[in-house]
Structure formats: structure tokens, C-alpha cells
């Protein structure tokens, strides 16, 4: 076992212990907080029962977490639905408490229903927060110590390049893409590259490449390798500690929407069709209204300050409006705080460059942006007036970005599917890198959001948006 593998084992153990300690403390706190609203007079001498069943419940939940691999570094990726598994595990743990209490105390004292409900709700809420914080702290420490996962991609193709690019940008786990291998045995020139990544050789070089670059993870991203090819590949890798993963070429689909099963010995992946059901639409509407009104109230005192700053900084109106396409290409007038000098839309030397796919419909160093405008864009405060569009039902808080007419008319056919829903102030691509994400990637992330919508994804984007705003990363 080499030094790199020993470090991986230590990392796995530290990761598991960190989450385990956090979960025990959080669950103890949750069950205690759930006890506070109870009337002590009604509990009386049965207080000991609450301690016993709380301890049993915490132990059960920890065991279920372990069985569901919530302490495994290798299995704990964001796509596996960690929050859903944790929530279900807590509910199961509390349900078992109810059964045990009924069975052993059938003729005696029954635990307070309020305590059981509060324990469940508080535990779910605090577990989500604590695990997110622990993982962020853990990965931040790993990043600062220079720890990284050395990854090799098999498949020198567009999908392989995209996977390598996505992994290299990960803020959660620091990945070092050592390079790519072709999916055949043809000779590869020594200086061959695909995008930003070196092509290190072909399949025949797999053993030497793994040893030379101390590879820890291999991702197979090609449809050209058959069953026996992969078995042969696994034998030639040799090191059992190297993770080997396959991309099913379903990049835009979330794991939560896929179910793998076997039929007559054939492994199949079932993809659930996603649609906005009536309940989902009502729930999203309620979220939009609550967040819209909340944003308006919270920033009510900020509006006049921003308006005054804009007026003092440059001539022109405080608000800027522009016709854009909303849901199903319906034209809507979108409002923002003005961040450019007056007449910026008529400066054709810049508008010609902006409304081009080559520029990604953005100028990183746009001279038309004012000093106050640059600050507003960096903090995304220029988007606040769009609360009016939300209240009017024309936009959502979360959704694909509302496109200018000139930009929307250049969409490819597959990209037009992003217009099926209300456009939003913030979305998945904004929190994935904001303006630093290239245009094709933005379109794919917009479609990912539509195809994989859930209440968890909605709330996650809201939380990530807040963090991105305060981080001030990527906006211009």
C-alpha cells in the first residue's frame, strides 16, 4: 500500500468520525430542544423514559445512517440525495421509538406526541445544517493542506473533456485531472491535447499511467468499451484501491431521477420523466411569493440608498428596464437598477459584441458599467427590482435567466426547452460559477434544473446564491 492510499484511508476515517461526532451532538441537542416545550408537570416522574427512548432513537438513527452509507467518503456525493436519506432515516428511527414505547409500556406511560413530532422536525432541520457545515469545514481544511484526488479520464472525446472540466472546477473535493486516455490502442502523439487536458496515451498505457501519476480515481467516459474490455482494464489497473467509475452518458440527469435495476440479467437504468405537477407548481408559487415579499421588506431601506448612489455617480434614471422573453417566449419588461451609463444600449460597438454566442453574451471588462454599477453587479443588488416581476407572476426567484430578445433569438432548438418555465432572478448556473460558466454550460445547467426540479434543489440554490453573493465571486 503506497503513501497516497494510506492518506486516502486516513481521510476516509477522519471524514466518518467528523460526521459521526457531529450527528451524535446534533441529535442529542434536537431531542433536548424538543423536550423544552413540554409541560414538566405532565411528564413528572416519567422523565427517565424520555432519556432512555432518546438514547435508543439516537443510536438507531446513527445505525441507519451507517447502513445507508452516510459516513462513507466515497459514496457521499451531492447527487445521491443525502438529505432525503437522512430525513427518511430519522423518521424511521422515531417510528421505531413509537413501536417500542407502545410494546413495552402498553399499559403505562405513553411518550408525548408533541415531543415525537418536535424531535423529528428539529432533528431533520439541524442534521441538514450541521452536516453541510461539517463537510464544508472538512473540505476547506483538505483544500488548504493541498490534499487532492488524482483523476484519470478514459475517453478522449467531448464528454470526457466535459467531465474532466467539471471535476477540475469542484469546490467540494479538490481534483487533479492528470490527463485523458483514448479508448483504443492507436498511437497517440506526445503533445496531444483535448482542450485544457493532456492526452497521455491509449488503453495500452493504463498500467504505467496509473503508477506514474499515482492515479486514485478512473472515470470511463466512452461507449466503445464492451464488457470484456472493462474486465481486462480492471485487471491491468492492478491496484484495488483505485476507484473505477463509469459515466452512463446521461450527464443532464440527476441520480435522484435514475433507478438502476436488472432485468433478465441485463443491467438497465430507468429514467423518471419529470413534470411540474399541480402541487409542485403551487409550492413553487408559494415559495416565490414568500421570498419575493421577504426580499422587498428586508431591502426596503436599501432601495433609496442605492437610488441616491446611482444618481450621485452618473446621470440618468435609477431604474433600467428591458424587454426580455419570459415563459414560452412571452415578452415581459424586466426591471433592474441601472448599472451602465445612459444610452449604453445604443453603443453598437459594444452591443454587437455582447449579442454574440462567441462572447457568451457577456463582456468581462465592459467600459459602460459605472463605478456604483460594478458594485451592484458584484453583489447582485442590481437584480432587486425584479421582485416586482415576481409579484406580478412574470418571473420566479429561481429559474433560467430571462434572456434579452436578441439573445433568445439565437438559441438552438435543444436550448429553447429552457423557456418552458418562468425565468428567474437566480439559477443553477449562477451558483455554479455565476458569469465564469461558459455559454453552452449555462444552457445545459438550465435544462438540468428543469429536468430535475425538486423542493430540495430549489432551497439549495437559494442557500448557494446567498453564499455566492457574499463571496462576490464570478459576477460582472
Element (H, E) at 404: strand 403-404
Averaged pLDDT of the chain? 81
Torsion over CA: 204, 210, 213, 218 (sign): positive
Helices 455-471 and 278-298 meet at what angle, rounded to 10? 30
110 and 197 belong to one structural domain: no
Task: Give the count of domains, the chain.
Answer: 3
Answer yes or no: is 272 within a domain.
Answer: no
Residue 167 · residue 175 · CB < 8 Å: yes
> What pLDDT digit, counting tens, does each position of 333-387 carry?
999 999 998 887 777 667 666 766 665 566 667 788 899 998 888 888 888 899 9
Please state, as a whole number, how many other Cβ atoms lie within 10 Å of the Cβ of residue 81: 15
Residue 399 · residue 424 · CB < 8 Å: yes
DSSP type of residue 259? E
DSSP type of residue 316? S
Q: Check which CATH number belongs to the domain holding 179 and give it.
A: 3.40.50.720
> Considering the entire predicted model, what is its pTM?
0.57
> What pLDDT digit, counting tens, does each position of 182-235 carry?
988 888 887 888 888 999 999 888 999 998 998 988 998 888 888 778 888 888
Residue 205, domain extent: 149-249
Helices 3-35 and 113-144 meet at what angle, rounded to 10? 150
End-of-domain residue from the set 203, 229, 249: 249
Answer yes or no: is 205 within a domain.
Answer: yes
Answer yes or no: is 456 within a domain.
Answer: yes
399 and 376 belong to one structural domain: yes
Percent of the chain at pLDDT exceeding 90:
22
321 and 427 belong to one structural domain: yes
Strand 217-220 relative to strand 149-154: parallel, antiparallel, unpaired?
parallel
What is the C-alpha separation between 310 and 236, in angstroms, rounded? 64
302 and 438 belong to one structural domain: yes
Amino acid at each position: 500500500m503506497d503513501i497516497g492510499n494510506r492518506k486516502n484511508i486516513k481521510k476516509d476515517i477522519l471524514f466518518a468520525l467528523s460526521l459521526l461526532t457531529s450527528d451524535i451532538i446534533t441529535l442529542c441537542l434536537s431531542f433536548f430542544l424538543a423536550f423544552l416545550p413540554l409541560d414538566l408537570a405532565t411528564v413528572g416522574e416519567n422523565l427517565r423514559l424520555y432519556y432512555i427512548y432518546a438514547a435508543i432513537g439516537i443510536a438507531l438513527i446513527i445505525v441507519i445512517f451507517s447502513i445507508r452509507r452516510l459516513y462513507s467518503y466515497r459514496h457521499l456525493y451531492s447527487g445521491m440525495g443525502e438529505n432525503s436519506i437522512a430525513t427518511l432515516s430519522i423518521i424511521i428511527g422515531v417510528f421505531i421509538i413509537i413501536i417500542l414505547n407502545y410494546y413495552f409500556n402498553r399499559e403505562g406511560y405513553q411518550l408525548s406526541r408533541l415531543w415525537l413530532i418536535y424531535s423529528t422536525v428539529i432533528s431533520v432541520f439541524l442534521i441538514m445544517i450541521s452536516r453541510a457545515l461539517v463537510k464544508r469545514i472538512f473540505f476547506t481544511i483538505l483544500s488548504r493542506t493541498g490534499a487532492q484526488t488524482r483523476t484519470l479520464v478514459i475517453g478522449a472525446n467531448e464528454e470526457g473533456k466535459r467531465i474532466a472540466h467539471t471535476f477540475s472546477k469542484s469546490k467540494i473535493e479538490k481534483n487533479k485531472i492528470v490527463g485523458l486516455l483514448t479508448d483504443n490502442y492507436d498511437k497517440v502523439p506526445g503533445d496531444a491535447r483535448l482542450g485544457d487536458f493532456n492526452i497521455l496515451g491509449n488503453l495500452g498505457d493504463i498500467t504505467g499511467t496509473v503508477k506514474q501519476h499515482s492515479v486514485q480515481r478512473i472515470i470511463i467516459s466512452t461507449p466503445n468499451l464492451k464488457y470484456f474490455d472493462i474486465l481486462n482494464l480492471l485487471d491491468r489497473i492492478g491496484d484495488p484501491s483505485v476507484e473505477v467509475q463509469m459515466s452512463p452518458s446521461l450527464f443532464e440527469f440527476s441520480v435522484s431521477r435514475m433507478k438502476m435495476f436488472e432485468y433478465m440479467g441485463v443491467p438497465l437504468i430507468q429514467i423518471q420523466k419529470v413534470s411540474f405537477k399541480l402541487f409542485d407548481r403551487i409550492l413553487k408559487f408559494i415559495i416565490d411569493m414568500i421570498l419575493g415579499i421577504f426580499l422587498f421588506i428586508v431591502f426596503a431601506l436599501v432601495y433609496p440608498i442605492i437610488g441616491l448612489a446611482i444618481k450621485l455617480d452618473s446621470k440618468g434614471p435609477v431604474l433600467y428596464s428591458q424587454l426580455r422573453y419570459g415563459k414560452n417566449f412571452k415578452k415581459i419588461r424586466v426591471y433592474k437598477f441601472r448599472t451602465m451609463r445612459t444610452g449604453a444600449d445604443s453603443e453598437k460597438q459594444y452591443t454587437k459584441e455582447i449579442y454574440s454566442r462567441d462572447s457568451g453574451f457577456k463582456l468581462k471588462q465592459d467600459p459602460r458599467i459605472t463605478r456604483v454599477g460594478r458594485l451592484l453587479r458584484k453583489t447582485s443588488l442590481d437584480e432587486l427590482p425584479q421582485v416586482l416581476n415576481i409579484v406580478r407572476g412574470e418571473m420566479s426567484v429561481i429559474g433560467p435567466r430571462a434572456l434579452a430578445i436578441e439573445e433568445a433569438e439565437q438559441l438552438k432548438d435543444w436550448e429553447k426547452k429552457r423557456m418552458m418555465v418562468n425565468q428567474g432572478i437566480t439559477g443553477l448556473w449562477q451558483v455554479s460559477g455565476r458569469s465564469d460558466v461558459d455559454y453552452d454550460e449555462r444552457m445545459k445547467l438550465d435544462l438540468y434544473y428543469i429536468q430535475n426540479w425538486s423542493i430540495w434543489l430549489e432551497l439549495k440554490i437559494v442557500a448557494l446564491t446567498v453564499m455566492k453573493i457574499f463571496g462576490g465571486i464570478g459576477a460582472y
